[in-house]
Chains A and B, each alone.
Chain A
Amino acid sequence: MRERHIVGASVPRKEGWDKITGAARYVDDMVLPGMLYGATVRSNIARGKIRKISFDPSIAWDQFVLVTAKDIPGKNCISLILDDQPCLASDSVNHPEEPILLLAHTDRPKLRKAIDAVSIEFEPLPPVYTIEESEQQSTIIWGTDNTFKSYLVEKGDVDAVWKEAAHIVEGEYFTGAQEQLYIENNGIIAAFDPENGVTVWGSLQCPYYVHKALMALCSLPEDKIRVVQMETGGAFGGKEEYPSMIAGHAALLAMKSNRPVKIVYDRMEDMVATTKRHPSRTRHRTAVSKDGKLLGGEIEFTIDGGAYATLSSVVLSRGTIHAGGPYYWPSVRIRTKALATNAPPHGAFRGFGAPQSLFAMERHMDRIAQVVGISPAEIRRRNFLKPGQTTTTEQTIREDIDLDRLLSRALELSLYAAKKTRFAEENKTGMRKKGIGIAAFLHGAGFTGSGERHLNSLVGVEARADGGVRVLVSSAEFGQGTNTVLCQIAAEALALPYESVAIAQPDTTVVPNSGPTVASRTAMIVGKLVQSAAKGIQQTLAKAGLLGDHYTREQFHAACKEYIAARGALKSYARYEAPRDVYWDDDKYRGEAYGAFAWAVYVAQVTVDLTTYAVNVDDVVALQEVGKVLNPVLAEGQITGGVAQAIGFALYEKVVWQNGRMINNQMTNYIMPTSADLPPIRVFFEELGNVHGAHGAKGIGELPMDGPAPAILNAVEDAIGVRFHSIPLLPEDLFAALRPEPLEQDSPSSARGSA
């Protein structure tokens, strides 16, 4: 028997050695014999009808493989939720960069010239670019009302609270689009032969999403589609739904040419054409008592979904459920909607709607504190959710969370009180003003409501004759540590060394559908299933009389060998079973929204330079309760990485739109934080445990995206006393708000920054 626990230990990353030696294989590192390169001809207008496609005769078109919508064997859509997004536009386009035509050739440079030699004539139609234009409905671009989805959450009688309110506090908040900016661009290789069907290898998060999309598009049965995930160089949600589109394109070219086809985007194409975080607008109207208790509120949360429905309904759902923050609302009405615009569809990005609505909530809490006349810490203490109370969806908090204590600890770790006093004194002089801000928040782990029940995930563990154990899941590794923590869980369950457990490369012919690798669900939901499937191996061996309660590694090996010799393969599967006490009403949007929440209080310290108008983050304390930490080094890496992205979301990363198209689609002018930009990110965990997760784990991946932006803007206000309601907050926005005399011409883009 092993003595030390593997779960909870910082064992090295499973695929770490290959990554640090450069041996890890990403899709662009792979070449197949006879392979062609594929490219996409896209729309250069936002909305209109396709009138004519013509081909410049100077190009030898017979050397190219050409695919249009007419070549699609199955349904022309990217099958996901509503199936409204075409794989290739046939008669009309609804956003800039919408794919229309595909080309393939052996020689990559020739493709670029060929793309330029295709001209497409459009009859333009009036486009819609903003949430405001879309909700006016003077131009209808989707359905009957431009609305992909709306939700209404109602708790208590909010209409009755306004009379008794001592204060009514209103606010409007905005967040911008954000590019995931994984360093590895999107890419897929597809191959086809009539006997085996379509195989794709790619950079992706959800093998079975791609599988489903290709079945519909190629009109092939389940067993004629194979999806293999290659090493994936970052994803953050950006490789959740879009890889199905690229896989579809590569598959169509492969089917037409009977040759393997590689489509790897370059950075400009990836940034201009693929998904981003949904821009959002949130309005709060809050009734507050004299002593700062929330009595009730109306929250209106609206997101810009872009041109097709894709995942917007689900992003909206998460944003809706998180809109009330970690607070107790006696009554609340939350109205939310996802609207269509003629921009490329916005999609999954770490946090998935929650960073948007929580940004508003946490800025608004500071505003309420000012109106009531108490401190930002005190307003939160008076309203924190407590065990036994219910959330906005009337989910009862059953875990023993003490947010008051979490806040106190975060304030101590950040030396909040001392700094607050010191900064107030120091800020009286000089041009560099310091401030400190708080954000308290929560993040639900797993799919929302009935989502996990519908996913019905299946996980396998197999043991081989040599005693080696392999985890079989479709959960993808893309940096977050899936391979490592799932192997830790299996090793712990089987009382084997970590080294004895491997994980299969996600390949739909090898691994079952354990659901998509999203929604902070892998450690909690899939981990629990891995634990149970691993236990199944031990039970099978025990039942066969080959293994006792306590065993050595050698005894386990011997037992596996004997079992397999006598009966063949030794595999054990576990399927998700919804906890019995969980109630969720999809129509009323009421009930247990998530199996578990992670809880956090972050404190950010900033310097605002009134000479350069730059905001610098000097320190971040990130304190969270995430259940059992399965691997401390990996967990800390998730938090520091998420905080860094969230600092980018708050202060650096601005997608500049022109007629529905991103025009700064390069790393040179879309700025993410470098190693020189970031403060020390100090990570602290509390571990309460969670009955639903493996060893008490909860979700962790998305949580750190939620808190830093509001904490930073709260700190900026603390430093200079100016309220900003919109992110990203760039130096030009500060300049526009703070300059002594307005310039003659105000640019429309700066007006929003200083609402």
Chain B
Amino acid sequence: MNTSPGTGAKCEVLFTVNGEAKKLFVHPMERLLDVLRNDLKLTGAKEGCGEGECGSCSILLDGMLVNSCLVPVAQASGASIVTIEGMSAHALMNPLQEAFLECGGAQCGICTPGMILAAVYLLEKKPEPAPADIREGLAGNLCRCTGYMQIFEAVSKAARRRVTK
């Protein structure tokens, strides 16, 4: 189930990834996750489950947080895609990264890129999230290491820092 179909005609797909225009010749039903990882060498998005449960493959597609394992690449045609690699200039990244390091928000790190994108998405919508907002906002991203407590703390700390700045 996790392997992109290898048959059928390839087609041209154009989209922007991390601000750069890309033209690819791919199978339309290939998973966006595989195109990002294999064709574009953007390996920050990870495959955890291949069925949209774990959120490790999270990316921003036209500003929406999506599981890239569930998106056929043809569906991303014309879209603007942002992966963890394209986030370094984002205003929320610095506070989030610092808070994740300080609070122990990353352990094995495999869910972390997705978790950080989910946190960015949450804080863009809700700059001052209540604890329940954080729990709900991250509920699509599974972490097996932390028990989430230190991730909640990191997101909350990043939000406070940005608001007070």
Contact = CB atoms under 8 A, between A and B. Distances in A.
Contacts of B96: 20
A317 to B, nearest CB: 26
Given A109-B3, A634-B104, A667 B143 contact: no
Contact of B53 (A26, A633, A668): A668
Contacts, number: 189
A329 to B, nearest CB: 33
B100 A267 contact: no
Interface residues of A, number: 63
B111 interface: yes
Q: Which of B107, B140, B151 has the most CB of A within 10 A?
A: B107
Contacts of B107: 234, 479-481, 637, 641
B134 to A, nearest CB: 8
Contacts of A183: 46, 48, 54, 56, 108, 110-111, 142-144
A680 interface: yes
B145 A641 contact: yes
Nearest to A640: B147
Contacts of A130: none
Interface string B87-119: 010000000110011111111111111001000
A676 B53 contact: no
**Does more than half of chain B's interface fall in helix, strand or loop, or is it mixed?**
loop
Interface in A23-42: 23-26, 28-29
Given A268-B1, A678-B148, A17 B111 contact: no
Contact of A674 (B51, B83, B109, B139): B139
Interface string A610-646: 0000000000000000000000011011011111110
Interface string A457-481: 0000000000000000000001111
A233 interface: yes
A676 B106 contact: no
B113 to A, nearest CB: 4
B97 A21 contact: yes
Contacts of A637: 104, 107, 145-147, 150
B80 interface: no
Contacts of A382: none
Contacts of B142: 183, 667, 672, 674
A18 B100 CA distance: 12
Interface string B1-29: 11111110000000000000000000000
A107 B43 CA distance: 19
A181 B144 contact: yes
B126 interface: no
B109 A681 contact: no
B145 to A, nearest CB: 4
Contacts of B105: 20
B144 A672 contact: yes
A588 interface: no
Q: Which of B53, B136, B138 has the most CB of A within 10 A?
A: B53
Interface of B: 1-7, 37, 43-51, 53-54, 56, 83-85, 88, 96-97, 100-113, 116, 134-136, 138-152
Given A233-B109, A667-B54, 6 more contacts: A28-B37, A182-B144, A184-B46, A185-B48, A268-B2, A667-B48
In order of increasing CB-CB distance, the 5 nearest A-B pairs are: A22-B44, A233-B110, A19-B109, A479-B108, A109-B6
Interface of A: 10, 12-13, 15-26, 28-29, 107-112, 180-185, 231-236, 266-268, 478-481, 633-634, 636-637, 639-645, 666-668, 672, 674-676, 678, 680-681
